[in-house]
Amino acid sequence: MVPTPISEKAFSRGLLDVLIRAGLIAVLVIFCFQIFSPFLDLMLWSFVLAITLYPLHLRLKGVLGNKDGLTATLIVLIAISILMVPVYLLGTSLVDSVERGMHMVKSDSFHVPLPPDAVANWPLVGKPLHNLWTQAVTDLPDLVEKFIPQIKGVSLSLLSKLAGVGMGLLLFIFALIIAGIFIAFGESGQRSALQIVSRFCGPAKGPKIAELCTATIRAVALGVVGIAFIQMLLVGIGFVFMGIPGAGLLALAVLLLGIMQLPATLITLPVIVFVFASEGASTATIVFAIYVFVAGLVDNVLKPLLLGRGVDVPMPVVLIGALGGMVTSGILGLFIGPVILAVGYRLFWQWVEDQGQEPGPDNQGQT
């Protein structure tokens, strides 16, 4: 019995129905993304914080009588309290720097020292730099007036960056609050995440992929961002107690270098040299130099302890994620970028390894 062929009209109608449904779904997805896009970075950072802090929640929950809401609230309050330390350092440092600058301008006590003769012998830039420095000593107002457009551009850019840092810190606090809500419903959220991943990757690979993503997020959040934050606190405390000008800004620079996987000694060594040059060798300066130098190397001790427990991610992936995140999403992207790129990197290599393990047509049926 010959099967009846599908008529061309019925095939066209079925294809049209499929295209209409796909178009409606695409329009719905686009509208949903446009509505959700202003909150994308905030929600991503909230998920990262929730996944990172959830093991701490499990440890404290038993002590606090298995109360999820109380435990999550306590974790958020402690995290915000710790976050206020660098915010306070940054704010006071910025205010002190502005006040000192205004006082020097009003009292006319700002004087540029004469350039050393050795500067003129530097290759390429020696003579232009020496002439510019000499003009700053002899006729500073004329030099400032000459470079007013450049100074204005740099000042506006600096103010914009400072505003971005303040907005990033504010978003970080909101992300902590939202992460606390996620943590309070951690068990149901974990089940939902596993169902979503299993729906995309299949019930066999779903749990494995979910575990890989969780481990990568915790490893990078603790081993990169967490270590950089601890290092910033240790170095910043030393700067504040020693009365270093711009202590908060220097501590923030240590944080940025730590996230970008660059050594903090790029900041600590010049500060140590500045302290010895300005105050000389004494017990206080020697203790400060030793403390700050050791604090600048603390990441070498903490990285094997924290990053080694999770999934190892190459440094270029973290560096590219930090720089790309900062360019696309500002100060908040500096934290989110390494985590998201690390997850994508690990998922890609997991896919490559799975492809190599899948049985092909040549080895099917072999024992």
d(CA 161, CA 166): 9
For residue 114, is it within any domain?
Answer: yes
Mean pLDDT of 302-310: 59
Which of 103-112, 202-211, 288-297, 347-356 is predicted with the least confidence, judged by mean pLDDT? 103-112
For residue 168, is it within any domain?
Answer: yes
For residue 19, is it within any domain?
Answer: no
Higher pLDDT, 98 or 57: 57
pLDDT of 215 higher than 60: yes
d(CA 237, CA 242): 9
CA angle (47, 49, 55) in 5-degree steps = 105
pLDDT band, very low/low/confident/very high, at 24 (cuts 50, 70, 90): very high
Higher pLDDT, 361 or 175: 175
Q: How high is the mean pLDDT of the chain?
A: 76
3-class state of residue 184 by DSSP: helix
pLDDT at residue 1 in the model: 47
pLDDT at residue 27 in the model: 93
pLDDT tens digits along 222-236: 777 788 888 888 888
H-state helical runs in the chain: 8-36, 40-63, 68-107, 126-138, 140-146, 148-184, 186-201, 206-220, 227-242, 247-259, 265-279, 283-296, 299-306, 315-357
What's the pTM value of the predicted model, to 2 decimals?
0.66
For residue 9, is it within any domain?
Answer: no
pLDDT tens digits along 315-351: 777 778 877 877 777 666 777 778 788 888 878 887 8
Report which of 33, 72, 89, 50 is spatially closest to residue 237, judged by C-alpha positions: 89
Contact partners, residue 78, CB within 8 Å, separation at least 6: none
The answer to whether the beta carbons of residues 179 and 49 sit under 8 Å apart is: yes
For residue 33, is it within any domain?
Answer: no
pLDDT at residue 132 in the model: 75
pLDDT band, very low/low/confident/very high, at 30 (cuts 50, 70, 90): very high
pLDDT band, very low/low/confident/very high, at 26 (cuts 50, 70, 90): very high
For residue 366, is it within any domain?
Answer: no
53-62, 156-165, 310-319, 331-340: which is most confident: 53-62
> pLDDT > 90: what percent of the chain?
2
Mean pLDDT of 42-62: 85
pLDDT at residue 102 in the model: 66
Mean pLDDT of 192-197: 84
pLDDT band, very low/low/confident/very high, at 145 (cuts 50, 70, 90): low
107-111, 157-161, 207-211: which is most confident: 207-211
Higher pLDDT, 135 or 214: 214
For residue 25, is it within any domain?
Answer: no
Our count of domains for the chain comes to: 1
pLDDT of 122 higher than 80: no
pLDDT of 360 higher than 60: no
Mean pLDDT of 254-275: 84
Q: Which two tokens stand for residue 48?
A: 């990262």
pLDDT of 210 higher than 60: yes
For residue 305, is it within any domain?
Answer: yes
Report which of 343, 49, 68 is spatially closest to residue 211, judged by C-alpha positions: 343
pLDDT at residue 28 in the model: 92
Q: What is the per-residue DSSP string for 84-140? A: HHHHHHHHHHHHHHHHHHHHHHHHT---PPPPPGGGGGSTTTHHHHHHHHHHHHH-H
Query: Domain limits at 240?
Result: 40-351
